Amino acid sequence: MATGLAGKVGLVTGGTTGIGRETAVCFAKEGMKVVVAGRREREGEETVELIRAAGGEGLFVKADVSKAGDVETLVQNTVEKFDRLDVAFNNAGTEGAWVPILKQSEEDFDRTIEINLKGVWLSLKYEIQQMVTQGTGGAIVNMASVAGLVGSAGAAAYSASKHGVIGLTKAAALETAKRGIRVNAVCPGAIETAMSERLFGVPHVHRYVLSCHPIGRFGTAGEVAQAVVWMCSEQSSFMTGQSLVLDGGFLAGQNSPS
């Protein structure tokens, strides 16, 4: 079934690695032109090369999504290069320090919220502004997490930021629905990425987190990327303000007896 994405212009923040990179390549395979944003230039250019190898056109823009000027320039550069913006995946994020609230520094809390929550808000602001100006609608997916749907001891800032992303997603969807812009969120469980390796790389931690996923494995970046492509496609045209969970059964087991 056709996705209707061929010829459209997409923007992926946090596209230098992991889920962002996989999504950028999947967009290219659908015939899209793709702008990749991130703070690491070398990795960003590597993603652009992968986009070109997949048959697409790509552009890397160095940007810190927690800074309004960077995000505004990012959208401007997208339009200058490809004339428009049709699709966006607001994926940039950080895990921050996973420590109890009593041990978390104010600096770490602020930085986690700035990137994961404020960064999505800024991205939405300038992406929606451009889509409204164009007047042809659009689709936006925000990166949330299963940690945005349940509490997570020892990860208060991260969990709060992801809960906030889901709230932002719902509000943005309501504000833009009549303009033909759809806004949704994706909520992965543990995915095989560099972030998961940093968080769950210690063997006993890995075993515990794996045991929380009844399907018996972590997800892959490609699986999340394919879901994002679907959420941006015409196949999901009646979906907005929703959070799509990809968690190997993690949430289904949250109320199971220990």
d(CA 71, CA 26): 23
Note the pLDDT tens digit of each residue in 138-154. Answer: 999 999 999 999 988 88
pLDDT of residue 43: 95
What average pLDDT score do residues 4-17 get?
Answer: 96
The per-residue b/e assignment along 162-182, b for 16 or more CB within 10 angstroms, e otherwise, is: bbbbbebbbebbeebeeeebb
Query: Is 140 contained in some domain?
Result: yes
Q: What predicted TM-score, i.e. pTM, was given to this entire model?
A: 0.93
Q: What pLDDT sits at residue 257? A: 45
Domain contains 174: yes
Closest by CA to 75, choosing from 30, 9, 150, is 9
- With respect to residue 4, please indicate whether it lies within any of the assigned structural domains: no
The enclosing domain of 84 has a CATH number of 3.40.50.720
| 8 A C-beta contact, residue 122 and residue 142 | no
pLDDT tens digit string along 42-71? Answer: 999 999 999 999 999 999 999 999 999 999
Q: What is the mean pLDDT of residues 99-116?
A: 95
Answer whether residue 108 shows pLDDT above 70. Answer: yes
- Residue 179 located in a structural domain: yes
Confidence of residue 199 (pLDDT cuts 50, 70, 90): low
- Whether 61 is covered by a domain: the verdict is yes
Which is the catalytic residue, given 60, 158, 218, 250? 158
Phi and psi angles of residue 57, each rounded to the nearest 5 degrees, phi first? -105, 140
- The reply to whether 3 falls in a domain is no
The answer to the question of residue 207 being in a domain is: yes
For residue 13, tell me if it sits in a domain. yes
Count of domains observed in the chain:
1
The sheet carrying 243-246 orders its strands as 57-62, 33-38, 9-13, 87-90, 138-143, 181-188, 243-246
Share of the chain above pLDDT 90, in %: 80
Asked if the model's pLDDT at residue 123 lies above 70, the reply is yes
Structural domain boundaries enclosing 133: 9-253
Which token pair is 64?
Answer: 């810190």
158 among known catalytic residues: yes
φ/ψ (deg, to 5) at 154: 90, 0
